[in-house]
Amino acid sequence: MDQAHIRNFCIIAHIDHGKSTLADRLIERCGAVRGAAREQMLDTMDIERERGITIKMTAVRLSYKARDGGVYELNLIDTPGHVDFTYEVSRSLAACEGALLVVDASQGVEAQTIANASLAMTQNLEIVPVINKIDLPHADVARAREEIEHAVAIDASGAVLCSAKTGEGIEEILEAIVHRMPPPSGRPDAPLRALIFDSHFDSYQGAVAYVRVVDGSVRARQKIRMMATGSQFEVDSVGVFRPSLEVGAALETGQVGFLTAAMKTIGDAAVGDTVTDAERPATLPLHGYRRAKPMVYCGMYPSDTDHYEDLRDAIEKLKLNDAALHFDPETSVALGFGFRCGFLGLLHMDITRERLEREFELNLILTAPSVDYVVHRTDGSTLHVANPSLMPPPTEIASIEEPTVSASIMVPTEYVGAAMTLCQERRGIYRRSEYPSPLRVILHYTLPLAEILLDFFDKLKSSTRGYASFDYELSDNIQTDLVKVDILLNGEAVDALSFVVHRQFAYGRGKAMVEQLRKVVPRQQYEVRIQAAIGAKIISAESVKPYRKNVTAKCYGGDVTRKRKLLEKQKEGKKRMKQIGSVELPQEAFLSVLKVGD
Amino acid sequence: MNPLAVYVHIPFCPSKCGYCDFNSYAMQGEIVERTARAIIREIRESPWAGRPAKTIFFGGGTPTFIPAPLLVEVLNAVTDTHPPLPNAEITTEANPGTVDASKLETLRAGGFNRVSLGAQSFDDGDLVRLGRVHRAGEIERAVRAAHEASFDNLNLDLMFGLPDQSRAAWRANLARAISLEPEHLSLYCLTIEPNTPFYKLHLRGELPLPDDEQQVAFYEDCLERAAAAGYEAYEISNFAQPGRECRHNLCYWRAEEYAGYGPGAVGAVRDPALGVRVRTTNLKHPERYACAIEAGGPAAYESEPLDSATLQTERVMLGLRLAEGIEVDGLDEGALSRLARRGWIERDTGRVRLTRAGRLFCNDAVVELI
């Protein structure tokens, strides 16, 4: 296939604007999947389906006979739809020449629409606006068009109108892809350069790299080198996505497909890395490689300490398929042996936990998430602290830096006040506002990363009746006045419950945390005193009264099975409890800090 | 053949009490006799026919809600099917408001030798609130009538921890019960069961129940006053004069076999075909139960084979309720020593039993041991 008949494109949209449905229609129309269309074909993992989001992107090759009579190879590259995965989005965009910018005709432009569109523009993609859901009764095409022009700053006069639901406009979209998006323009004779934009791990073939061939070509038996990591492999197979993997002879310049090369870990096929020919290497890699950097850390411990090895094996297995997951062994006085794990965001953390529990049948205790603090000590040394319990005593700290994000929040004008108040409460620094349309404002803030980890987005949504959208990217560290708050149970500090907070909020958070714990700590045979402390100073205290009896009054022949099942259930519940000193804590106690509102 | 305990469930009550989650119905008319006939048929067609009865117990509901001759007919079906061992304990539960001397005489003559009276409280305010149909005065009359009918083995059921009940009120109740000199006392802490009117009230915060602390104090009163009057606390909620323990209920707590007849009745009998004990539960609703029996089908809608691990769990759960305790064999030593450290159990001669302190945490002890 010559490059002139190849189009590589992606679909960018705000969540729920119909990206997956549109992808399904395009796939259907081009006959890539025969028989009954499976809804939202690109989202393959169960958890993705349940949550209605795309975590793991994939690609599909479509064959389209255009109105001009030519047959085109269209590669649709899917992108993840959540702020946690911004870097992965940028790599999949880099594999394309064009992007369909999908805007819901009833919702208009939202924060992610803009964030992803500006990413696409930085990659010099040809953006074709698509106004979707025009079948809805409250669709407002004119307003959507206006917002695209104002907020995204692209010409929306040629926006394609469609309804992915009814199939209207699908043909026009395919024509726009063929005629408005440029073909790839790589050099077929140059040394191989292929961008890895995604990967997955297969237990038989090792890491499967999803590549976009930029220059040259790649085929089986070829020796290749990863330019960032320097490792070399021999290609086992190459092929394309239909959307299942289909082995072929070669991937030529401009094409999108996969390659396997007995790569033992997903790190061997690092997203963003450039594949080149080992014997005839390119001089320069494709630009934009970045090592996936965790934003959030938490401790993960098996609730049964005997399962430490199982947990390690399970995390290692997940890591095979998730280059962004970081982990190091750590120990906790309260919880024993476990791991400090790094994630791209809370969603990533949650999905990882869910997969470990579901796929590996582990019972886990997660400690409160923390960011990576940089601590300058009085002795001049510098320390990274991602585990609050390892924060040095105040006397040894000269200063602490914490990571921040630049956040953009789009809200209808009537909610600007509410959104700004929330940002202020979360120690936000106001940067500027934009007015993409008369009814909408984009607020730009610098916010401490730690502040948005908690319930920021939920709070934002509730204070704006769900209208706000939110996007962020990591920014610089700033110096802050932070303190560590310890939580004591019956006088003993529980390291896994410590958290770091701005001094100004220490009292309020400490109190809220103690109250939350009082709600989740079950009554025990002894009184449980719960205290929050900064150093030796107690800032809040509560207690859980003991229960004085736990006995069934009546138990006769007819009750036996039911009573037995109740006790068996209690036994199961007890297994999920963690004995901390004399106190039994349920798993959720360790995540109490997440539930602490202000 | 091995003897077993026989339970017969009479699922009718004059009205349904607010705390009750038993299988009982405030029904009248033709269904009552029809159900009794179905029970008789179920008993006569029992797969366990021929196995002697160690004990027989008629519970409910209110067995005495149905005419005494009919109840005796049901008993005859039982004794025909399960010849009672000599001196077998044959109990019927009774509501003090549904018995009189002649009824009790008929029952005594028909073969019953023990009566368990649902007294619950000697305070009419309590009785009204609980939804009971009888009044305090009727309890004493019923006891006298039972004695006149030459019943010499009586139980009184009492409840404590009632809404707004004070400790003094409970002590007064207890004293009055003891003054009637029943051979046996069942003293239950009111338990709020799901799917009862009390449960709904409780959720709405409209049931001013004594707290844990007070309930424990009420229970201490049971232990002390009963002991002082010569009753032995042979089970968590059951007290008896020496030799007057309820032998039928002991079968449950010792995890022995029992057959169950009647709507919603539960049995646990070794099935010779399967080689394991099977717990069966009959259809609960009288109408559906009667239809099933009349159609010649089985009355059971649920059956649960009890493997040895499950049986062991039940032995622990039930046996720990008894003052005699359970055999130590097969129990986890680690768990035993944890419980001993808390002062909840004591051991001797190969048995383990709950201490007085341990009784209050019986469920925790069981959870440790299973």
Distance between CA atoms of residues A331 and B18, nearest Å: 53
Alpha helices in chain B, H assignment, sequence order = 30-44, 68-81, 101-110, 124-130, 136-148, 167-179, 197-203, 212-228, 247-253, 286-294, 308-319, 333-341, 356-359, 362-369
* Euclidean distance between CA atoms A105 and A109, whole angstroms: 9
Nearest to A12 by CA among A475, A322, A471: A471
* Two tokens, residue A114: 């803009």
Q: Are A561 and B370 in contact (CB < 8 Å)? A: no
pLDDT score of A368:
84
Question: Residue B338: pLDDT band by 50, 70, 90 thresholds?
Answer: very high
Is the separation of the CB atoms in B183 and B142 below 8 Å?
no
Measured between CB atoms, does A582 come within 8 Å of chain B? no
Nearest chain A residue to B192 by CA: give it: A553
Domains of chain B (ranges; CATH) run 4-252 (3.20.20.70), 310-369 (no CATH)
Nearest to B313 among A547, A552, A564 (CB): A564
pLDDT tens digits for B270-298? 998 989 999 999 999 999 999 999 999 89
Which chain A residues touch B304 with a CB distance below 8 Å?
561
A558 touches chain B (CB under 8 A): yes
Closest-CA distance, B348 to chain A, in angstroms, reads 23
Cβ distance of A574 and B304 shorter than 8 Å: no
Which residue do the tokens 């994939």 mark? A58
Name the band, by pLDDT with cuts 50, 70 and 90, for residue B138.
very high
Q: Is A553 in Cβ contact with B236 (below 8 Å)?
A: yes
Measured between CA atoms, the residue of chain A closest to residue B306 is: A561
pLDDT in tens, A249-276: 999 999 999 999 999 888 888 888 999 9
| Predicted local distance difference test score (pLDDT) of residue B322 | 97
CB of A380 less than 8 A from some CB of B: no
The rounded percent of chain B whose pLDDT value lies above 90 is: 94
Query: What values do phi and psi take at B325, rounded to 5?
Result: 70, -160
Round to whole Å and give the CA distance between A62 and A158. 24
A134 is in an annotated binding site: yes
**Cα A176 to Cα A29, A338, A478, A570, B42, distances in angstroms:** 15, 53, 46, 62, 79
Is A568's CB within 8 Å of B313's CB? yes
Shortest CA distance from A572: residue in chain B: B367
Are B212 and A548 in contact (CB < 8 Å)? yes
Judged against a pLDDT cut of 60, whether residue B347 lies above it is answered with yes
Q: Which of B190, B264, B367 sits opposite A571 (nearest CB)?
A: B367
Task: Give the gap in angstroms from C-alpha B315 to the nearest C-alpha of chain A.
Answer: 10
Q: Which residues contact A533 (CB under 8 A, 6 or more apart)?
A: A485, A486, A487, A488, A493, A510, A539
**CB-CB neighbors (< 8 A) of A553 in chain B:** 188-191, 236-237
Average pLDDT of the residues in B309-327: 96
Judge: B363–A550 Cβ closer than 8 Å, yes or no.
yes
The number of angstroms, rounded, from the C-alpha of B74 to the middle of its chain's C-alpha atoms is: 19
Residues 6+ apart with CB under 8 A from A99: A9, A10, A11, A12, A93, A117, A120, A125, A126, A127, A128
Q: In Å, how far are A42, A208, A485 from A239, measured between CA atoms?
A: 18, 11, 54
Burial A476-486 (b: 16+ CB within 10 A, else e): ebeebebbbbb
Q: Do B361 and A551 touch (CB under 8 A)?
A: yes
pLDDT (tens digit per residue) in B32-60: 999 999 999 999 999 999 999 999 999 99
> Hey, how many other C-beta atoms are within 10 angstroms of the C-beta on A500?
23
Å between A304 CA and nearest CA of chain B: 16
Which candidate, A402, A343, A414, places its Cα nearest to that of A375? A402
Q: Which of B215, B318, B367 sits opposite A560 (nearest CB)?
A: B318
Q: Which of A551, A557, A564 sits opposite B260 (nearest CB)?
A: A557
DSSP B271-310: ETTTTEEEEEEE-SSHHHHHHHHHTT--SEEEEEEE-HHH
**What's the CA gap between A8 and A210, in Å, rounded?**
13
| Best CA proximity match to A54, nearest among A89, A87, A30, A26 | A89
Nearest neighbour of A557 by CB, restricted to B191, B266, B310: B266
E strands in A353-425 = 364-366, 373-377, 382-385, 397-412
**Whose structure tokens read 């006995």?**
A551
> Which of B209, B246, B249, B317 to mutate to test binding with chain A, by most A CBs within 10 Å of its CB?
B317
Q: Compute the nearest-CA separation of B213 from chain A (Å).
A: 6
Higher per-residue pLDDT: A112 or B250: B250
Contacts of A136 (CB under 8 A, 6+ apart): A105, A106
- Is the dihedral angle over the CA atoms B334, B336, B339, B341 positive or is it negative? negative
- Strand-by-strand arrangement of the A274-277 sheet: A232-234, A223-226, A274-277, A193-202, A206-215, A256-260, A237-241, A245-248
Q: What is the pLDDT along chain A (598 residues), one digit of tens a residue?
A: 689 999 999 998 887 788 888 888 898 888 755 333 344 444 455 554 454 444 344 788 999 999 999 999 999 988 765 656 667 777 888 899 999 999 999 988 887 787 778 778 777 899 999 999 999 999 999 999 998 988 777 889 889 999 988 989 999 999 999 999 999 999 999 999 999 988 888 878 888 999 999 999 999 999 999 999 899 999 999 999 887 788 999 999 999 999 999 998 888 888 889 999 999 999 999 987 777 778 889 999 998 888 999 999 999 888 877 778 899 999 998 889 999 999 988 888 888 998 898 889 898 888 888 999 999 999 999 999 999 999 998 899 999 999 999 988 888 888 999 999 999 999 999 999 988 767 778 899 999 998 887 778 888 888 887 777 777 888 899 999 999 999 999 998 998 899 999 998 899 989 999 998 998 888 888 899 999 999 889 999 999 998 999 999 999 998 899 999 999 998 888 877 788 877 888 877 887 766 665 4
Q: In terms of CA atoms, which chain B residue is nearest residue A546?
A: B212
Whole-number CA gyration radius for chain A: 27
Q: Which of A578-582, B2-6, B172-176, B306-310 has the lowest mean pLDDT?
A: A578-582
B109 backbone dihedrals φ, ψ, rounded to 5°: -65, -30
B203 to chain A nearest CA, in Å? 18
**Closest by Cα among A274, A231, A495 to A370:** A495
Provide the pLDDT for residue A38.
Answer: 44
Cβ A105 vs Cβ A99: under 8 Å: no
The answer to whether A571 contacts B361, with C-beta atoms less than 8 Å apart, is no
8 A C-beta contact, residue A339 and residue A327:
yes
Task: Compute the distance between CA of residue A103 and CA of residue A180 in angstroms, rounded to an integer.
Answer: 18
Confirm whether pTM is higher than 0.90. no
Question: How many Cβ atoms from other residues are within 10 Å of residue B20's Cβ?
Answer: 18
Given a cut of 50, whether residue B97 has pLDDT beyond it is yes
Selection from A64, A66, A123 nearest residue A92 by Cα: A123
Instruction: Return the pLDDT at A576.
Output: 72
Whether residue A372 is annotated as binding a ligand: the answer is no
Beta bridge partners of A62: A74
Confirm if A214 and A190 have CB atoms less than 8 A apart.
no
Regarding predicted confidence, which is higher, A558 or B115?
B115
**In what order do the strands lie in the sheet containing B4-10?**
B232-235, B238-240, B184-189, B154-160, B114-120, B84-94, B53-60, B4-10, B258-261, B266-271, B276-282, B300-306
In this structure, what token pair is assigned to residue A304? 């049964």
Residue B176: how many CB atoms within 10 A of its CB? Answer: 18
